[in-house]
């Protein structure tokens, strides 16, 4: 069967418009030829919600559409890197080609490496992840709310109730702040002071500041610079030779991607510097990250590993709160037949994401040198379809769906839940939902009253509820668990 025929078959199988085709897809084998698998992935990018007869896209064409200079990816299958490939330019000034050895900023994917490092160091040191962090710190102390202590486990899982979502980095490596200055927002630090803003251990609250505290704890208690400790415990054992940290200037090479803005122009400083190594400072390649992922996967499977024990790997991917999705440096998505671990990253001029099965040997890592994330999700969907990942079947819209602007307008308004508010609005004929100052997402319809959040993992949906007069009274948000938000007058 030739590539074009196979692609046409994949379109029918993946979207499953007819019961007969769905039945056939159950017997469809993953292509045996590597070249065919690569071509299928490259030509099977798709929108979040499938439409009958809808297009499949080519990866390089989508790079042009998204105004993206360069991209690199690695695909994991059967507990090994099946293939890795690079596309485009490291920067739009020199025109240097991206290779699979070109390093990109991992941004918040650094937190995954930090979680692995913490558990590896715990194996040798015996440190307790559930003790009061102030008993582990000598140079700095966290002020607690109502005397409730914070633990390392809470720092790693973003359940410590702390401020400081992320970091903007620095345009120059001169006069970078120390960790203490970052935590206190002193000296040259350009981020918020890290402080307690809600009770620990009760809810998820993303905090790069909390991750930075965990970096300080490791540095003090190991009596080793953080970057050296990660090198010893994780990078060296896995031969992650193309991985290093932002402050390790002596490791910088000519084969580094530049960050770019939305117009595909390189940042004036080429890239920003991040002394917050654990939270945002890693430079790496998709292949290096894939090797770490595979080591975790084989550890979970009991097939042996170079870094973590099976018990530690199980702890790494175990959410810390009931009905939650945040584990120790990864986010968990429970799908039928598989639990997936993932983390994305967003530094100035860079984006990236990994996604892997905790029960299988499947996964993918994508890194880009621009601010676009849509193509990353499109690639993940393509890999999942070609390699037939369980529980990752494409979403399909109601084939009779035809929503006008007037239909959509009735869903707009402000909705409240436990003191929080979200605003649903219309922009360019499409619904958007946002929590002011925190997050926003476009919405794609699945049915007349049910929509999916674009590019959000774990997958999230919103369903609007109406009364007998068809007036909208509330909405149900679902992302692992449900919450009902009441519409305000």
| Between 430 and 239, the higher pLDDT residue | 239
What is residue 160's predicted lDDT score, i.e. its pLDDT? 97
Looking at residue 331, its pLDDT comes to 96
Residue 51, pLDDT > 90, answer no
- Is pLDDT larger for residue 26 or for residue 431? 431
Average pLDDT over residues 433-456: 88
Average pLDDT over residues 7-12: 40
Tokens encoding 240: 């992650």
Q: What is the pLDDT of residue 28?
A: 63
pLDDT tens-digit map of 341-387? 999 999 999 999 999 999 999 999 999 999 999 999 999 999 999 99
Higher pLDDT, 76 or 455: 76
Q: 84 near 75, Cβ under 8 Å? A: yes
Specify the range with the lowest mean pLDDT, choosing from 235-244, 382-391, 429-438: 429-438
- Angle formed by the axes of helices 34-42 and 3-15, nearest 10°: 60
Phi/psi of residue 189, nearest 5 degrees: -60, 135
Task: Inform me whether the pLDDT recorded for 286 exceeds 80.
Answer: yes
Residue 342 or 12, more confident? 342
pLDDT at 5 over 70: no
Residues 55, 71: Cα–Cα separation, whole Å: 22
pLDDT of residue 1: 40
pLDDT on residue 20:
30
How high is the pLDDT of residue 436? 86
Q: Give the whole-angstrom CA distance, residue 226 versus residue 117.
A: 10
Contact 225, 281 (CB under 8 A): no
What does the block give as tokens for 225? Answer: 């610079």
What's the pLDDT score for residue 17?
Answer: 30
If DSSP states are collapsed to H, E and C, what string results for 235-298? HCCCCCCCCEECCCHHHCCCCECCCECCCCCECCCCCCECCCHHHHCEEECHHHHHHHHHHHHH
What are 463-474's pLDDT values in tens digits? 999 999 999 999
Predicted local confidence at residue 3, as pLDDT = 41
Residue with tokens 């997402």: 441
CA angle, 156 then 355 then 68, to 5°? 105
Q: Tell me whether the omega of the peptide bond preceding residue 458 falls within 30 degrees of 0, making it cis.
A: yes
Confidence at residue 52, expressed as pLDDT on a 0 to 100 scale: 63
State how far the Cα of 181 lies from the Cα of 462, in Å rounded to an integer: 41
Characterize 472-488 residue by residue with b for buried, 16 or more Cβ atoms within 10 angstroms of its Cβ, and e for exposed.
Answer: bebbebebeeeeebebe
Neighbours of 325 (CB within 10 A): 20
What pLDDT digit, counting tens, does each position of 71-103 carry? Answer: 999 999 999 999 999 999 999 889 999 999 999
Burial class of residue 489, CB neighbours in 10 A (0-12, 13-18, 19+): exposed
Is 21 a residue whose pLDDT tops 80?
Answer: no
Rounded Cα distance between 424 and 461, Å, is 13
CB atoms within 10 A of CB 52: 10
Residue reference for tokens 């930090």:
114
Q: What is the DSSP string of 25-75?
A: HTTPPPPSSHHHHHHHHHT-B--SEE-TT---B-HHHHHHHTT--EEEEEE
Q: What is the pLDDT of residues 23-32, one digit of tens each?
A: 334 446 899 9
Question: Which domains does the chain possess?
Answer: 104-372 (3.40.710.10), 405-487 (2.40.128)
Residue 411: the pLDDT is 96
- Whole-number Cα distances in Å, 172 to 36, 246, 273, 322: 44, 11, 7, 42
Average model confidence (pLDDT) for the chain?
Answer: 91
Say if residue 41's pLDDT is above 70: yes
Burial of 455 (0-12, 13-18, 19+ CB in 10 A): middle
Mean pLDDT of 118-133: 97
Q: How confident is the model at residue 400 (pLDDT cuts 50, 70, 90)?
A: confident
Lowest mean pLDDT among 53-62, 180-189, 274-283, 347-356: 53-62
Q: What percent of the chain has pLDDT over 70?
A: 93
Nearest-angstrom CA–CA distance, 252 and 27: 48
């Amino acid at each position: 069967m030739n590539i074009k025929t196979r692609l046409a078959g994949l379109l029918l199988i993946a979207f499953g418009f007819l019961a007969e085709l769905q039945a056939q897809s159950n017997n469809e084998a993953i292509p045996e030829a590597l070249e065919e698998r690569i071509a299928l992935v490259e030509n099977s990018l798709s929108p979040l919600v499938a439409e009958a007869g809808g297009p499949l896209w080519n990866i390089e064409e989508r790079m042009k559409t998204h105004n993206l200079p360069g991209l690199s990816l690695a695909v994991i299958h059967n507990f090994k890197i099946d293939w890795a490939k690079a596309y485009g330019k490291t920067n739009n000034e020199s025109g240097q080609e991206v290779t699979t050895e070109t390093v990109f900023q991992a941004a918040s994917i650094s937190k995954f490496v930090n979680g692995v490092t913490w558990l590896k160091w715990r194996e040798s040191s015996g440190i307790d992840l559930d003790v009061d962090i102030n008993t582990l710190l000598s140079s700095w102390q966290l002020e607690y709310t109502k005397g409730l202590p914070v633990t390392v486990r809470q720092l790693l899982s973003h359940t410590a109730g702390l401020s400081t979502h992320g970091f903007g980095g620095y345009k120059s490596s001169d006069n970078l702040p120390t960790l203490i200055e970052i935590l206190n927002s002193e000296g040259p630090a350009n981020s918020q002071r890290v402080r307690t803003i809600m009770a620990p251990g009760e809810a998820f609250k993303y905090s790069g500041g909390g991750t930075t505290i965990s970096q300080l704890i490791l540095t003090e208690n190991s009596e080793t610079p953080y970057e050296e400790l990660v090198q010893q415990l994780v990078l060296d054992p896995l031969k992650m030779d193309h991985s290093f940290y932002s402050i390790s200037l002596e490791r910088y090479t000519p084969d580094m991607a530049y960050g770019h803005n939305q117009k595909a122009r390189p940042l004036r400083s080429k890239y920003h510097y991040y002394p917050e190594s654990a939270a945002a400072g890693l430079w790496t390649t998709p292949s290096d990250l894939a090797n770490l992922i595979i080591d975790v996967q084989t550890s979970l499977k009991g097939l042996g590993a170079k870094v973590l024990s099976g018990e530690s790997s199980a702890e790494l991917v175990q959410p810390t709160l009931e009905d939650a999705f945040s584990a120790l440096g990864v986010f968990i998505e429970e799908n039928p037949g598989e639990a997936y671990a993932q983390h994305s990253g967003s530094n100035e001029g860079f984006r990236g994401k990994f996604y892997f099965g905790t029960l299988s040997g499947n996964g993918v890592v994508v890194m880009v040198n621009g601010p676009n994330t849509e193509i990353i999700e499109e690639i993940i969907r393509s890999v999942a379809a070609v390699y037939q990942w369980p529980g990752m079947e494409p979403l399909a819209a109601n084939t009779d769906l035809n929503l006008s602007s007037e239909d959509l307008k009735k869903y707009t308004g402000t909705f409240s839940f436990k003191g929080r508010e979200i605003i649903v609005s219309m922009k360019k004929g499409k619904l958007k939902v946002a929590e002011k100052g925190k997050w926003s997402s476009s919405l794609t319809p699945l049915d007349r009253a049910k929509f999916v959040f674009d590019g959000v993992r774990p997958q999230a949906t919103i369903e609007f509820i109406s009364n007998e007069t068809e007036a909208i009274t509330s909405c149900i948000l679902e992302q692992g668990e449900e919450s009902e938000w009441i519409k305000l007058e």
